[in-house]
A and B are shown apart, each in its own frame.
Chain A
Amino acid sequence: MSEQQAEVTTDYEPRIVAFLCKWCSSAGSDLAGVSRIQYPSNATPITVPCTGSISPNYILSALKKGADGVLVSGCHIGDCHYIEGNFLARRKIHLVKELLGFVGIEQDRFRMSWVSAAEGAKYSQVIKDFVEDLRPLGPQTKVKAGRS
């Protein structure tokens, strides 16, 4: 434990895999960029057609490959390009979050947000908050492959 703590306080930078919906959050992150809003560079964005298309497998796989946190972000409820994709995502993601917590993986490692194409500032805030919340948790080793 002490080893992990030491790592946390020194130069640990959480790595986030962010699954962003093509129509809203991905555009939102672009807006944050072109607006020159400063925010941490910890998130690796992966654009998906819709949050509804995200299989729980993506999330587990990201954790297995060593992500410290996973973000799923899409259009606000009612704004889905495919009408109901984010409604379906909301259900599915809820189950994933509950299951991760159930087996004892920190629920803070997994986050969902609604960020529209106009919300560059919100996107930067979501990432900032996520990084700050991940920092005290230290590196994710539970699901990461190669631990044993």
Chain B
Amino acid sequence: MINLQDMRDTARNMLAKNEVRGVIGYRRSTNGMLAEPVVITKPEQADELIWDPTCFHNLSLYLVEDRKFLAHTRAKADLPIAIIAKGCDARSTVVLMQENYFERKDVYIIGVSCEGTGVLDERKLVKKGIRATNSAFDGDDFVFTTEQGEQRIPAREVMADRCLECRECFPKEHNIVLGEDKTGRQLDAPFTALKRFEELDPAARWEFWDHQFERCIRCFACRSVCPMCYCDECIVDSTSFPVTGQTTADEKANRVKWIERSATRAENMTYHMTRVLHLAGRCIDCNECERVCPVNIPLRLLNNKMEREAREQFGYEPGASIGGPSLTASFLDTDPGKFIR
């Protein structure tokens, strides 16, 4: 069991002793019982921090935002920034360091173990018809405060899919860690949802994805929330290409438009498939993209597919080590090549 007071004390002490610039954590939002990300910079703000089943956000995104902010303002950071990181958040932080987005010394990882549970999938709770005003961890259960009083639900019934299949709920990479290591507590075998989907024949799979891609409204929540989608230029924003005084009108007009603005099936599909391929070997299955999708496109299946290919064909595990090679910038002599004529 994680003691919230420990988390707050840790944050408070580090800020008070001027060991870190800020602490990226969770606080209560004004949207019902949900948590929201926050960056605290003063010791007295430490009591705002919370830890409950709605802390689903992958906070390593804010390490990226922090880096971008520093670069934009040309500020220099003498102190590291601290982050409250679950197992998945720690893995994506590792990928960011592996890609030299920042260095290990730039970040102080306050690991939190997800222990017996994971985090909540709000949609599953809504489906159960539960309107709660508060949520808390308790052993293998979530406890919700509702109008009818306290309601205890086994976590696995409303836990996020990714948590059910999580192989590493304990943040291996950390400076300090709160909670116990319960790795191996996995409730479903990895890729359970993926395997279920793959039982469909190609025609049915196509029908499924055709429908899903058509529904996309291109709000780019999936891209915006992804810590790995840190590119300054994204192929979907034709105008975010760097333009200088020397860029000619011709150059601007003749930029390759890989993807049009129209949210049609073909464009949406190209966007999502490009994104999936760009995340291959980098996505650590925090599944934030699927959570934030307002129209519920099951993006996790796509990312899972790539993750499993990487694992089974290339023996690659994303987020495993800071110094290791990246999936698509490395190779083995034994890589499969039978498909090549």
Which residues of chain A have a CB within 8 Å of any CB of chain B? 56-57, 60-61, 64, 77, 84, 87-88, 90-92, 94-99, 101-106, 111-114, 126, 129, 142-148
A98-B274 Cα distance, complex, nearest whole Å: 13
B340 engages A88 (CB within 8 Å): no
- Out of B208, B306, B331, name the residue touching A88 (CB < 8 Å): B331
Chain A residues lying within 8 Å of B206, measured Cβ to Cβ, are 103-105, 142
User: A102-B205, A103-B205, A129-B341 are contacts. A94–B273 as well, Cβ < 8 Å?
Assistant: no
A112-B214 Cα distance, complex, nearest whole Å: 29
A87 engages B204 (CB within 8 Å): no
Chain A residue nearest in CB terms to B336? A94
A104 engages B265 (CB within 8 Å): no
A134-B53 Cα distance, complex, nearest whole Å: 51
B71 contacts chain A at the CB level, 8 A cutoff: no
B270 engages A60 (CB within 8 Å): yes
A interface: dominant SS: helix
Chain A residues lying within 8 Å of B274, measured Cβ to Cβ, are 56-57, 60
User: A90-B335, A103-B205 are contacts. A56–B277 as well, Cβ < 8 Å?
Assistant: yes
A106-B202 Cα distance, complex, nearest whole Å: 8
Interface hub of A57, A102, A142, A145 (most chain B Cβ within 10 A): A102
B327 engages A57 (CB within 8 Å): no
B235 engages A57 (CB within 8 Å): yes
Chain A residues lying within 8 Å of B209, measured Cβ to Cβ, are 103-104
Q: List 29 A-B contacts (CB under 8 A).
A: A57-B258, A61-B258, A61-B270, A77-B337, A88-B331, A90-B331, A90-B337, A91-B314, A91-B331, A94-B336, A94-B339, A95-B277, A95-B280, A95-B310, A99-B277, A102-B205, A102-B305, A103-B206, A103-B209, A104-B207, A104-B208, A104-B210, A142-B206, A142-B210, A143-B266, A145-B264, A145-B266, A146-B264, A146-B266
A97-B269 Cα distance, complex, nearest whole Å: 15
Chain A residues lying within 8 Å of B339, measured Cβ to Cβ, are 94, 97, 112
B313 contacts chain A at the CB level, 8 A cutoff: yes
Interface residues of B in 249-288 (CB under 8 A from A): 258, 260, 264-267, 269-270, 273-274, 276-277, 280
Chain A residues lying within 8 Å of B260, measured Cβ to Cβ, are 145
| Interface flags, B93-123, vs A, CB<8A=1, else 0 | 0000000000000000000000000000000
For B, the interface residue count at a CB cutoff of 8 angstroms equals: 44
Chain B residues lying within 8 Å of A126, measured Cβ to Cβ, are 341
Chain A residue nearest in CB terms to B214? A148
Chain B residue nearest in CB terms to A113? B341
Q: Distance (Å) between the CB of A67 and the closest chain B CB?
A: 13
Chain B residues lying within 8 Å of A98, measured Cβ to Cβ, are 305-306, 309
Give the total number of A-B pairs whose CB atoms are below 8 A apart. 107
- Out of B203, B264, B306, name the residue touching A99 (CB < 8 Å): B306
- Out of A90, A92, A103, A144, name the residue touching B340 (CB < 8 Å): A90
Chain A residues lying within 8 Å of B202, measured Cβ to Cβ, are 101, 104, 106
Chain B residues lying within 8 Å of A61, measured Cβ to Cβ, are 258, 270
A124-B210 Cα distance, complex, nearest whole Å: 35
A99-B310 Cα distance, complex, nearest whole Å: 12
Which residues of chain B have a CB within 8 Å of any CB of chain A? 198, 202-210, 214, 235, 258, 260, 264-267, 269-270, 273-274, 276-277, 280, 302, 305-306, 309-310, 313-314, 327-331, 333, 335-337, 339-341
A60-B278 Cα distance, complex, nearest whole Å: 13
Chain A residues lying within 8 Å of B267, measured Cβ to Cβ, are 64, 145
B258 engages A95 (CB within 8 Å): no
A143-B277 Cα distance, complex, nearest whole Å: 16
Chain B residue nearest in CB terms to A78? B333
B277 engages A96 (CB within 8 Å): yes
A142-B280 Cα distance, complex, nearest whole Å: 23
Interface hub of A90, A103, A146 (most chain B Cβ within 10 A): A103
- Out of A87, A99, A114, A144, name the residue touching B276 (CB < 8 Å): A99
Chain B residues lying within 8 Å of A87, measured Cβ to Cβ, are 331, 333, 335
- Out of A77, A99, A114, A144, name the residue touching B266 (CB < 8 Å): A144
Chain A residues lying within 8 Å of B306, measured Cβ to Cβ, are 95, 98-99
Chain B residues lying within 8 Å of A92, measured Cβ to Cβ, are 277, 328
